[in-house]
A and B are shown apart, each in its own frame.
Chain A
Amino acid sequence: MKSDKDSDSLERLFAAARKSQPYGDKVEYGFETRVMARIREKRDSRKLFSFWTWRLIPALVVLVLMLGSWTFLSEHGQLTGLSPLMGINGEEIMLVASLTGE
Protein backbone atom coordinates (compact mmCIF):
# COMPACT_ATOMS: atom_id res chain seq x y z
CA MET A 1 0.00 0.00 0.00
CA LYS A 2 2.77 2.39 1.04
CA SER A 3 4.74 1.46 -2.07
CA ASP A 4 1.76 2.25 -4.34
CA LYS A 5 1.28 5.58 -2.59
CA ASP A 6 4.96 6.42 -3.03
CA SER A 7 4.81 5.47 -6.69
CA ASP A 8 1.77 7.69 -7.19
CA SER A 9 3.40 10.67 -5.54
CA LEU A 10 6.55 10.12 -7.61
CA GLU A 11 4.45 9.93 -10.77
CA ARG A 12 2.69 13.16 -9.78
CA LEU A 13 6.06 14.81 -9.24
CA PHE A 14 7.27 13.63 -12.66
CA ALA A 15 4.08 14.82 -14.32
CA ALA A 16 4.32 18.25 -12.71
CA ALA A 17 8.04 18.56 -13.53
CA ARG A 18 7.39 17.66 -17.17
CA LYS A 19 5.16 20.72 -17.50
CA SER A 20 7.86 23.04 -16.20
CA GLN A 21 10.03 25.26 -18.36
CA PRO A 22 13.46 24.01 -17.33
CA TYR A 23 15.46 26.94 -18.71
CA GLY A 24 15.31 30.70 -19.10
CA ASP A 25 13.87 32.41 -22.18
CA LYS A 26 17.09 34.20 -23.05
CA VAL A 27 19.23 31.06 -23.53
CA GLU A 28 17.97 30.39 -27.04
CA TYR A 29 18.61 33.94 -28.20
CA GLY A 30 21.39 34.04 -30.83
CA PHE A 31 22.27 30.42 -30.13
CA GLU A 32 22.83 29.41 -33.77
CA THR A 33 25.17 32.39 -34.24
CA ARG A 34 27.26 31.27 -31.26
CA VAL A 35 27.36 27.67 -32.47
CA MET A 36 28.38 28.63 -36.00
CA ALA A 37 31.07 30.99 -34.65
CA ARG A 38 32.56 28.14 -32.61
CA ILE A 39 32.37 25.75 -35.57
CA ARG A 40 34.19 28.28 -37.79
CA GLU A 41 36.78 28.87 -35.08
CA LYS A 42 37.48 25.12 -34.77
CA ARG A 43 37.55 24.70 -38.55
CA ASP A 44 39.97 27.61 -38.98
CA SER A 45 42.35 26.32 -36.32
CA ARG A 46 42.29 22.88 -37.95
CA LYS A 47 42.97 24.47 -41.35
CA LEU A 48 45.89 26.41 -39.89
CA PHE A 49 47.27 23.21 -38.36
CA SER A 50 47.05 21.26 -41.63
CA PHE A 51 48.46 24.27 -43.55
CA TRP A 52 51.59 24.28 -41.39
CA THR A 53 51.81 20.49 -41.23
CA TRP A 54 52.00 20.18 -45.03
CA ARG A 55 54.55 22.98 -45.26
CA LEU A 56 56.70 21.57 -42.47
CA ILE A 57 56.79 18.01 -43.86
CA PRO A 58 59.71 18.63 -46.35
CA ALA A 59 61.71 20.41 -43.63
CA LEU A 60 61.04 17.54 -41.20
CA VAL A 61 62.08 14.96 -43.83
CA VAL A 62 65.38 16.84 -44.40
CA LEU A 63 65.92 17.03 -40.63
CA VAL A 64 65.30 13.28 -40.21
CA LEU A 65 67.70 12.47 -43.07
CA MET A 66 70.35 14.76 -41.59
CA LEU A 67 69.97 13.20 -38.15
CA GLY A 68 70.06 9.70 -39.64
CA SER A 69 73.24 10.36 -41.62
CA TRP A 70 74.87 12.12 -38.64
CA THR A 71 74.06 9.14 -36.37
CA PHE A 72 75.36 6.69 -38.99
CA LEU A 73 78.58 8.63 -39.54
CA SER A 74 79.26 9.20 -35.85
CA GLU A 75 78.65 5.50 -35.03
CA HIS A 76 80.93 4.47 -37.90
CA GLY A 77 83.56 6.96 -36.73
CA GLN A 78 83.33 5.68 -33.14
CA LEU A 79 83.80 2.07 -34.23
CA THR A 80 86.87 2.85 -36.30
CA GLY A 81 88.16 5.08 -33.51
CA LEU A 82 87.67 2.42 -30.88
CA SER A 83 89.37 -0.46 -32.66
CA PRO A 84 92.96 0.66 -31.83
CA LEU A 85 91.83 1.23 -28.24
CA MET A 86 90.43 -2.28 -28.15
CA GLY A 87 93.82 -3.47 -29.36
CA ILE A 88 95.61 -1.55 -26.60
CA ASN A 89 93.15 -2.90 -24.05
CA GLY A 90 93.74 -6.41 -25.31
CA GLU A 91 97.49 -5.99 -24.99
CA GLU A 92 97.07 -4.57 -21.48
CA ILE A 93 94.94 -7.52 -20.47
CA MET A 94 97.54 -9.96 -21.83
CA LEU A 95 100.35 -8.08 -20.02
CA VAL A 96 98.44 -8.09 -16.72
CA ALA A 97 97.71 -11.80 -17.18
CA SER A 98 101.36 -12.65 -17.85
CA LEU A 99 102.55 -10.55 -14.87
CA THR A 100 100.05 -12.05 -12.46
CA GLY A 101 100.64 -15.54 -13.81
CA GLU A 102 96.99 -16.17 -14.68
Chain B
Amino acid sequence: MNAPVQVPADERLIAASLSGDDEAFAELVRRYKQKVFRLAARFVRDDDELDDICQEAFIKSYQNLHRFRGDAPFEHWLTKIVVNVCYDMLRKQARKRDVVPLDDVAFAIGDSQSAEPSGSQEAWRILRSAMERLRPDDRLVITVLNLEEKTVRETSLLTGWSETNVKVRAFRARKELKRILEGDREER
Protein backbone atom coordinates (compact mmCIF):
# COMPACT_ATOMS: atom_id res chain seq x y z
CA MET B 1 0.00 0.00 0.00
CA ASN B 2 1.35 3.41 -0.95
CA ALA B 3 1.90 5.90 1.83
CA PRO B 4 -0.03 9.16 1.31
CA VAL B 5 2.14 11.87 -0.21
CA GLN B 6 2.66 14.65 2.31
CA VAL B 7 2.04 18.04 0.76
CA PRO B 8 4.01 20.65 2.68
CA ALA B 9 1.94 23.53 4.00
CA ASP B 10 2.54 27.01 2.62
CA GLU B 11 3.97 28.11 5.97
CA ARG B 12 6.63 25.41 5.82
CA LEU B 13 7.55 26.35 2.27
CA ILE B 14 7.74 30.02 3.26
CA ALA B 15 9.99 29.24 6.23
CA ALA B 16 12.22 27.12 4.00
CA SER B 17 12.35 29.86 1.35
CA LEU B 18 13.36 32.39 3.98
CA SER B 19 16.19 30.15 5.08
CA GLY B 20 17.50 30.04 1.51
CA ASP B 21 15.79 27.00 0.00
CA ASP B 22 15.06 28.06 -3.59
CA GLU B 23 13.23 24.83 -4.37
CA ALA B 24 10.67 25.65 -1.66
CA PHE B 25 9.87 28.97 -3.29
CA ALA B 26 9.73 27.29 -6.72
CA GLU B 27 7.11 24.96 -5.22
CA LEU B 28 5.08 27.99 -4.07
CA VAL B 29 5.32 29.40 -7.61
CA ARG B 30 4.14 26.08 -9.07
CA ARG B 31 1.29 25.97 -6.58
CA TYR B 32 -0.08 29.45 -7.26
CA LYS B 33 0.99 30.30 -10.80
CA GLN B 34 -2.32 29.30 -12.37
CA LYS B 35 -4.33 31.57 -10.07
CA VAL B 36 -1.88 34.42 -10.58
CA PHE B 37 -2.01 33.96 -14.36
CA ARG B 38 -5.81 33.94 -14.41
CA LEU B 39 -6.05 37.16 -12.42
CA ALA B 40 -3.23 39.03 -14.14
CA ALA B 41 -4.50 38.01 -17.60
CA ARG B 42 -7.54 40.25 -17.03
CA PHE B 43 -5.24 43.30 -16.98
CA VAL B 44 -2.72 42.66 -19.75
CA ARG B 45 -2.74 42.98 -23.54
CA ASP B 46 -0.88 39.81 -24.55
CA ASP B 47 0.88 36.71 -23.25
CA ASP B 48 4.33 38.36 -23.21
CA GLU B 49 3.07 41.13 -20.98
CA LEU B 50 1.35 38.49 -18.84
CA ASP B 51 4.60 36.57 -18.37
CA ASP B 52 6.43 39.77 -17.38
CA ILE B 53 3.79 40.92 -14.93
CA CYS B 54 3.48 37.49 -13.27
CA GLN B 55 7.26 37.25 -12.92
CA GLU B 56 7.31 40.69 -11.33
CA ALA B 57 4.57 39.69 -8.89
CA PHE B 58 6.40 36.55 -7.77
CA ILE B 59 9.73 38.38 -7.50
CA LYS B 60 8.09 41.04 -5.32
CA SER B 61 6.54 38.36 -3.15
CA TYR B 62 9.96 36.70 -2.79
CA GLN B 63 11.62 39.99 -1.86
CA ASN B 64 8.91 40.77 0.72
CA LEU B 65 8.45 37.26 2.06
CA HIS B 66 9.92 38.26 5.44
CA ARG B 67 6.99 40.70 5.80
CA PHE B 68 4.38 37.94 5.46
CA ARG B 69 2.99 37.61 8.98
CA GLY B 70 0.79 34.60 8.39
CA ASP B 71 -2.38 36.15 9.84
CA ALA B 72 -4.09 35.61 6.45
CA PRO B 73 -3.52 32.79 3.94
CA PHE B 74 -0.50 33.18 1.65
CA GLU B 75 -2.84 33.18 -1.35
CA HIS B 76 -4.57 36.39 -0.14
CA TRP B 77 -1.25 38.08 0.45
CA LEU B 78 -0.01 37.04 -3.00
CA THR B 79 -3.26 38.17 -4.65
CA LYS B 80 -2.83 41.60 -3.09
CA ILE B 81 0.67 41.83 -4.58
CA VAL B 82 -0.64 40.78 -8.01
CA VAL B 83 -3.41 43.40 -7.87
CA ASN B 84 -0.90 46.10 -6.88
CA VAL B 85 1.54 45.15 -9.64
CA CYS B 86 -1.27 45.13 -12.24
CA TYR B 87 -2.66 48.46 -10.98
CA ASP B 88 0.81 50.05 -11.23
CA MET B 89 1.11 48.74 -14.78
CA LEU B 90 -2.31 50.18 -15.72
CA ARG B 91 -1.34 53.58 -14.33
CA LYS B 92 1.96 53.56 -16.23
CA GLN B 93 0.09 52.69 -19.42
CA ALA B 94 -2.47 55.45 -18.77
CA ARG B 95 0.36 57.99 -18.52
CA LYS B 96 1.70 56.83 -21.87
CA ARG B 97 -1.75 56.85 -23.48
CA ASP B 98 -1.03 60.02 -25.43
CA VAL B 99 1.57 58.18 -27.47
CA VAL B 100 -0.35 55.00 -28.36
CA PRO B 101 1.10 53.43 -31.53
CA LEU B 102 -1.28 53.54 -34.49
CA ASP B 103 -1.25 49.74 -34.76
CA ASP B 104 -2.71 49.44 -31.23
CA VAL B 105 -5.53 51.86 -32.07
CA ALA B 106 -6.39 49.94 -35.22
CA PHE B 107 -6.40 46.71 -33.20
CA ALA B 108 -8.72 48.18 -30.57
CA ILE B 109 -11.15 49.52 -33.17
CA GLY B 110 -11.10 46.22 -35.02
CA ASP B 111 -11.93 44.41 -31.81
CA SER B 112 -14.81 46.67 -30.87
CA GLN B 113 -16.41 46.32 -34.28
CA SER B 114 -16.69 42.57 -34.04
CA ALA B 115 -20.05 40.81 -34.02
CA GLU B 116 -22.20 39.92 -30.99
CA PRO B 117 -20.40 37.61 -28.56
CA SER B 118 -20.92 34.09 -29.76
CA GLY B 119 -18.83 32.43 -27.06
CA SER B 120 -16.82 33.11 -23.97
CA GLN B 121 -13.65 34.01 -25.91
CA GLU B 122 -15.57 36.48 -28.04
CA ALA B 123 -17.24 37.97 -24.96
CA TRP B 124 -13.86 38.43 -23.31
CA ARG B 125 -12.44 40.01 -26.47
CA ILE B 126 -15.23 42.60 -26.60
CA LEU B 127 -15.10 43.27 -22.88
CA ARG B 128 -11.32 43.65 -22.88
CA SER B 129 -11.45 46.04 -25.79
CA ALA B 130 -13.94 48.22 -23.89
CA MET B 131 -12.07 47.91 -20.60
CA GLU B 132 -8.85 49.10 -22.21
CA ARG B 133 -10.54 52.48 -22.58
CA LEU B 134 -11.49 52.70 -18.89
CA ARG B 135 -9.46 54.59 -16.29
CA PRO B 136 -7.12 52.33 -14.25
CA ASP B 137 -9.29 52.63 -11.11
CA ASP B 138 -12.43 51.70 -13.05
CA ARG B 139 -10.75 48.77 -14.76
CA LEU B 140 -9.38 47.49 -11.48
CA VAL B 141 -12.70 47.57 -9.68
CA ILE B 142 -14.60 45.95 -12.58
CA THR B 143 -11.99 43.20 -12.88
CA VAL B 144 -11.87 42.36 -9.19
CA LEU B 145 -15.60 42.70 -8.47
CA ASN B 146 -17.25 41.49 -11.66
CA LEU B 147 -14.75 39.18 -13.31
CA GLU B 148 -13.03 37.70 -10.25
CA GLU B 149 -16.32 37.84 -8.33
CA LYS B 150 -14.76 39.12 -5.12
CA THR B 151 -17.03 40.70 -2.54
CA VAL B 152 -16.95 44.42 -1.77
CA ARG B 153 -15.08 43.64 1.45
CA GLU B 154 -12.50 41.48 -0.35
CA THR B 155 -12.07 44.16 -3.03
CA SER B 156 -11.58 46.73 -0.30
CA LEU B 157 -8.86 44.59 1.30
CA LEU B 158 -7.14 43.94 -2.02
CA THR B 159 -7.15 47.52 -3.22
CA GLY B 160 -6.78 49.35 0.09
CA TRP B 161 -9.86 51.47 -0.71
CA SER B 162 -12.72 51.81 1.78
CA GLU B 163 -15.86 49.72 1.14
CA THR B 164 -17.87 52.86 0.36
CA ASN B 165 -15.19 53.94 -2.07
CA VAL B 166 -15.29 50.53 -3.77
CA LYS B 167 -19.08 50.76 -4.19
CA VAL B 168 -18.94 54.29 -5.59
CA ARG B 169 -16.10 53.46 -7.98
CA ALA B 170 -17.85 50.25 -9.09
CA PHE B 171 -21.06 52.16 -9.85
CA ARG B 172 -19.18 54.77 -11.91
CA ALA B 173 -17.06 52.15 -13.66
CA ARG B 174 -20.09 50.10 -14.75
CA LYS B 175 -21.78 53.25 -16.05
CA GLU B 176 -18.68 54.17 -18.04
CA LEU B 177 -18.29 50.62 -19.35
CA LYS B 178 -21.92 50.59 -20.52
CA ARG B 179 -21.37 53.91 -22.26
CA ILE B 180 -18.31 52.57 -24.10
CA LEU B 181 -20.05 49.34 -25.11
CA GLU B 182 -23.14 51.26 -26.34
CA GLY B 183 -20.86 53.53 -28.38
CA ASP B 184 -19.23 50.48 -29.94
CA ARG B 185 -22.62 48.97 -30.75
CA GLU B 186 -23.79 52.15 -32.46
CA GLU B 187 -20.58 52.30 -34.50
CA ARG B 188 -21.11 48.75 -35.75
B120 to A28, Cβ gap below 8 A? no
Most buried by B among A18, A22, A24: A22
1/0 per residue A17-59: CB within 8 Å of B? Answer: 1111111101110011111101110100000000000000000
Q: Kindly state whether residue B83 has any CB partner on chain A within 8 Å.
A: no
Q: A32 to chain B: closest CB distance in Å?
A: 4
Q: Give complex CA distance A61, B82 in Å.
A: 43
B59 to A19, Cβ gap below 8 A? no
Which residues of A sit under 8 angstroms from B55, Cβ to Cβ? 31, 34-35, 38
Q: A47 to chain B: closest CB distance in Å?
A: 12
B149 to A28, Cβ gap below 8 A? no
1/0 per residue B118-158: CB within 8 Å of A? Answer: 01111110111000000000000000001101000000000
A14 to B47, Cβ gap below 8 A? no
Q: Give complex CA distance A10, B121 in Å.
A: 15
Among candidates B22, B51, B149, residue contacting A27 with C-beta atoms closer than 8 Å? B51
Per DSSP, chain B at the interface is helix
Among candidates A16, A26, A27, A40, residue contacting B117 with C-beta atoms closer than 8 Å? A16
Q: Kindly state whether residue B92 has any CB partner on chain A within 8 Å.
A: no
Among candidates B63, B122, B127, residue contacting A14 with C-beta atoms closer than 8 Å? B127
Which residues of B sit under 8 angstroms from A38, Cβ to Cβ? 55, 59
Among candidates A28, A34, A40, residue contacting B34 with C-beta atoms closer than 8 Å? A28
B121 to A35, Cβ gap below 8 A? no
Residue of A nearest to B30 (CB): A32
Contacts between the two chains (Cβ within 8 Å), count: 85
Chain B interface category by residue count = 35 or more
A39 to B124, Cβ gap below 8 A? no
Among candidates A6, A26, A39, residue contacting B59 with C-beta atoms closer than 8 Å? A39
B54 to A39, Cβ gap below 8 A? no
Which residues of A sit under 8 angstroms from B54, Cβ to Cβ? 31
Q: Kindly state whether residue A85 has any CB partner on chain B within 8 Å.
A: no
In B19-61, the 8 Å CB interface with A consists of 22, 25-26, 29-30, 33-34, 37-38, 41-42, 47, 50-51, 54-55, 58-59
**9 chain-A/chain-B pairs, Cβ below 8 angstroms:** A16-B117, A16-B123, A20-B123, A21-B121, A24-B47, A27-B51, A34-B55, A38-B59, A39-B59
Known: A16-B119, A24-B47, A31-B55. 9 other contacts (CB 8 A): A10-B178, A14-B127, A16-B122, A16-B123, A18-B147, A21-B120, A32-B29, A32-B33, A35-B29
Rank and list the top 9 A-B pairs by shortest CB-CB distance, nearest first.
A16-B123, A22-B41, A20-B124, A20-B120, A19-B120, A17-B124, A32-B29, A23-B41, A17-B123
